[in-house]
Homo-oligomer: A and B are copies of this chain.
Amino acid sequence: MEKVFYMDNAAATRLDEKVLEAMRPFYFESYSVATSEFGYSLGLEAREAMEDARGRLARYLGADMDEFIFTSGSAESSNLAVKGVAKALGSKKGRHIIVSKIEDFPVLYSARTLEKEGFKVDYLEVDEFGFVNIDNLEKLITAETILVSIQHGNQEIGTIQDIKRIGALCYKKGVLFHTDATHTFTRVPLDVREMNVDLISVSAHTIHGPKGIGGLYIRKKTPIAKLMDGGFQEFDLRAGMDNIPGAVGFAKAVELVTDEENTRLAAMRNKIIEEVFEKIPDVILNGDAVKRIPQNANITFHYVEGESITLHLDMYGIAVSTGSACFSRSLEASHVIAGIGGDHERAHGSIRFTLGRFNTMDEVTFVVENLAKIVENLRKISPLGKG
């Protein structure tokens, strides 16, 4: 294969060389664990680097540095946010939580686990573009509600929720608000004071940072119980050896994202959408055209299977994802496409494009040209009609 490139979720998981350079000293020089500082000074440099990384990540969200903890990734962060608040408040304030129907799995399945343990969970509907209705959310909040968890940007269709209005509502109602910002962090502005968010899940692997490191913003005085027992790391909210290179790499990854880059990603995304709509009939854009994360396009091609498209693009060295089966490896259709009212066919005919720093406009042109040919050919032999 001459050329291979990723335009699926993997696009953003290629480590940036500059991130590795920033991590190197903490692999080979200041690798002492921060927990050993007691009694000698040699671990201080490593601890200082870790706290510097923490401070930079916190400030990026408009938070103080004692409001940000490191985790193994946003899946752990979301588990801790949802279950940790439930554990802290479940026997005190109430046992009701609200999540959107199209949350990513860590939030969705944490909520389901709580449901099995006797919590009441409301799964808030979304409209055809993926937006929650804030009036409906307000109606669901009761005196028993302890947490609202609504994502910032959707993992499949890229829809950006109005976090500021949701935050204001939760603040008014005295309910904690968690948002999963895995797919928006550094790509879409998010400020914890301005937007009244109490908990935010973020990850490094979505922005060319290292895998195995993420974070959780936790507003001061938020009631939350730890889930992982052991040492007293991360303000006693987590156990496990401090991942100093990971923390430093995460902060570096954030530093490397620029407004120009986000503008460039949005331009490539727009190009994909515009060209597909121009060249290929019978397509639907999944998600909103405007309030959408810059790195995501999600398009349904009627009368063809998304997996046939991915297999054919694969032959050109292009990796994209379908709207189904990406996590479970079952043939279950996407709960997100179902959530916005799409049927089985729409889910299975959808293709998700995710762009990263290393994608180019030339790649976009190459993808769209081949896509047009592939879809045309597949439709000729399609058993789904329009053959």
Question: Chain B interface: which of A59-67, A94-102, A242-250?
Answer: A242-250
Contacts of A313 in B (CB 8 A): 40
A9-24 vs B, CB cutoff 8 Å, 1 = contact: the mask equals 1100111010010000
Contact B326 A38 (CB under 8 A): yes
CA distance A310 to B231 in the complex (A): 21
**In the assembled complex, A151 has its CB within 8 A of some CB on chain B:** no
Q: Which of B31, B40, B110, B205 contacts A229 (CB 8 A)?
A: B110
Q: Which of B78, B231, B245, B326 contacts A75 (CB 8 A)?
A: B231
Contact B212 A243 (CB under 8 A): yes
CA distance A27 to B245 in the complex (A): 14
Contact A79 B228 (CB under 8 A): yes
Given contacts A27-B15, A232-B329, whether A239 and B36 have CB atoms under 8 Å apart is no
Question: Chain B interface: which of A159-167, A171-179, A279-287, A317-325?
Answer: A317-325
Q: Give the shortest distance, in Å, between A382 (CB) and chain B (any CB).
A: 17
A103-118 vs B, CB cutoff 8 Å, 1 = contact: the mask equals 0111001101100000
Contact B73 A229 (CB under 8 A): no
Contacts of A241 in B (CB 8 A): 13, 73, 75, 203, 205, 211
CA distance A211 to B28 in the complex (A): 12
Q: Give the shortest distance, in Å, between A118 (CB) and chain B (any CB).
A: 14
Contact B106 A229 (CB under 8 A): yes
**In the assembled complex, A35 has its CB within 8 A of some CB on chain B:** yes
Which positions 134-159 of chain A face chain B at CB distance < 8 Å? none
**In the assembled complex, A189 has its CB within 8 A of some CB on chain B:** no
Contact A327 B35 (CB under 8 A): yes
Given contacts A79-B229, A79-B230, A232-B329, whether A10 and B31 have CB atoms under 8 Å apart is yes
Q: Give the shortest distance, in Å, between A81 (CB) and chain B (any CB).
A: 12
Q: Give the shortest distance, in Å, between A245 (CB) and chain B (any CB).
A: 6
CA distance A244 to B244 in the complex (A): 18
Contact B109 A239 (CB under 8 A): yes
Contact A32 B20 (CB under 8 A): no
> Which residues in A have some Cβ–Cβ distance to B below 8 Å?
4, 6, 8-10, 13-15, 17, 20, 27-28, 31-33, 35-36, 38-43, 72-76, 78-79, 104-106, 109-110, 112-113, 203, 205, 210-213, 227-232, 239-246, 306-307, 310-311, 313-314, 317, 319-322, 325-329
